[in-house]
């Protein structure tokens, strides 16, 4: 009987270990599931298409301004230190049930994202990724929020024909939580008379690396000098370089397609946070030496202030 008892005890121990293992697997799976945002689902990155292919953005611009579909990313730049740009967000745009596009933006407040009008003016839904570095993964630092068309604010002067006032805001029904990885951008308040010409600027984005290679998973940055509008007009002309535009040189590195809506910043002495002075609007063929154009934020501070929150009566 002793041998039978020992054998049964060994089987019992194995069974207990198996039950414990199953319990811990289920527990870990439950914890991971709770960490996922309620509306989050994996994106098929092979189905992401450049935003410019959807909106035919450059049909009215000079031929040289059309984006090159073979190189759609921050070109000539470098990967940034993870989470070193906590004001920058990416967001996925629902083009249709099968296809998704991507743009960049910056955090205005816990419920407002600043971006380009051409990224949101005709689409039903976006999913914002804040606090991310590798947006192909669900990182523990990330916060993901969804928003619908009714929550998009597009500047009334925006026109895809004249390419004017390319600025918009995405309002988030569920607020972001500010922490080390998610903070608002610093706007150029009090700097309205600055042109920033001659200053070293930084543009960041994830962008599309190519039609076959999909999005650039990690955040990249490029550094260029802010140009005077006079110098930019000499290259692009007055019809494109309006007073509401700020240009940067490229030196064959800078923003390109699908970096649209992202932030252009300049440092300020003694301040750890840079000042955002522009929003990625348009540029030349990726890798070109021609300047890139950004919406000049100092020209839109009043409009931003009027639209960076929900209208209590209307929402």
Could you count the other beta carbons within 10 Å of the beta carbon of residue 138?
16
The residue segments making up the domain with residue 100 are: 45-307
| 218 within some domain | yes
| 314 within some domain | no
Distance of alpha carbon 149 from alpha carbon 20, whole angstroms: 48
| Predicted confidence (pLDDT) per residue in 166-224, tens digit | 999 999 999 999 999 999 999 999 999 999 999 999 998 887 544 444 557 889 888 88
Q: Are strands 271-282 and 263-268 parallel, antiparallel or unpaired?
A: antiparallel
Range name among 69-73, 168-172, 227-231 with the lowest pLDDT average:
69-73
Q: In degrees, to the nearest 5, what angle opens at C-alpha 161 toward C-alphas 155 and 163? A: 50
pLDDT band of residue 79 (cuts 50, 70, 90) is confident
Of the candidates 76, 130, 83, 125, the one whose C-alpha atom is nearest the C-alpha of residue 104 is 130
How distant, in Å, are the alpha carbons of 187, 216, 217 from that of 292?
20, 20, 23
Range name among 38-47, 77-86, 102-111, 221-230 with the lowest pLDDT average:
38-47
The pLDDT value recorded for residue 166 is 94
Burial of 40 (0-12, 13-18, 19+ CB in 10 A): middle
| 212 within some domain | yes
Percent of the chain past pLDDT 70, that is, above it, reads 68
| 260 within some domain | yes
Number of domains the chain contains: 1
Distance of alpha carbon 156 from alpha carbon 172, whole angstroms: 20
31 pLDDT above the threshold of 60:
no
More confident residue, 287 or 182: 182
Q: What CATH number corresponds to the domain at position 244? A: 2.40.10.10
Helices (H), the chain: 2-35, 51-55, 229-236, 301-307
The token duo for 45 is 């990155």
- For 58: left if phi > 0, alpha if psi spans -120 to 50, otherwise beta; the answer is alpha
- For 252: left if phi > 0, alpha if psi spans -120 to 50, otherwise beta; the answer is left
Average pLDDT of span 74-103:
83
| 183 within some domain | yes
| 32 within some domain | no
């Amino acid at each position: 009987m002793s041998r039978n008892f020992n054998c049964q005890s060994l089987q019992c121990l194995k069974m207990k270990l198996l039950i414990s293992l199953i319990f811990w697997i289920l527990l870990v799976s439950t914890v991971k599931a709770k960490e996922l945002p309620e509306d989050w689902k994996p994106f098929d990155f092979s189905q992401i298409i450049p935003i410019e292919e959807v909106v035919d953005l450059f049909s009215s611009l000079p031929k040289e301004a059309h984006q090159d579909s073979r190189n759609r990313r921050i070109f000539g730049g470098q990967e940034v230190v993870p989470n070193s740009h906590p004001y920058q967000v990416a967001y996925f745009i629902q083009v249709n049930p099968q296809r998704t596009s991507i743009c960049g933006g910056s955090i205005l407040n816990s419920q407002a994202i600043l971006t380009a009008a051409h990224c949101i003016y005709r689409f039903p839904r976006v999913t914002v990724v804040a606090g991310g570095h590798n947006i192909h993964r669900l990182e523990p630092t990330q916060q993901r929020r969804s928003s619908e068309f009714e929550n998009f604010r597009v500047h009334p002067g925006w026109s895809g024909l004249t390419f004017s006032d390319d600025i918009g805001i995405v309002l988030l029904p569920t607020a972001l939580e500010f922490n080390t990885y998610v903070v608002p951008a610093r706007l150029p308040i009090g700097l309205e008379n600055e042109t920033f010409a001659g200053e070293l600027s930084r543009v960041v984005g994830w962008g599309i690396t190519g039609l076959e290679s999909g999005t650039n998973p990690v955040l990249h940055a490029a550094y260029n000098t802010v140009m005077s509008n006079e110098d930019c007009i000499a290259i692009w002309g007055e019809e494109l370089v309006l007073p509401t535009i700020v240009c940067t040189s490229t030196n064959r590195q800078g923003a390109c397609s699908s970096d649209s809506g992202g932030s252009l910043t300049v440092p300020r002495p003694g301040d750890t946070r840079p000042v955002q002075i522009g929003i990625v609007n348009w540029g030349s063929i990726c890798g070109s030496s021609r300047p890139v154009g950004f919406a000049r934020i100092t020209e839109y501070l009043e409009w931003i202030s009027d639209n960076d929150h929900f209208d209590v009566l209307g929402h």
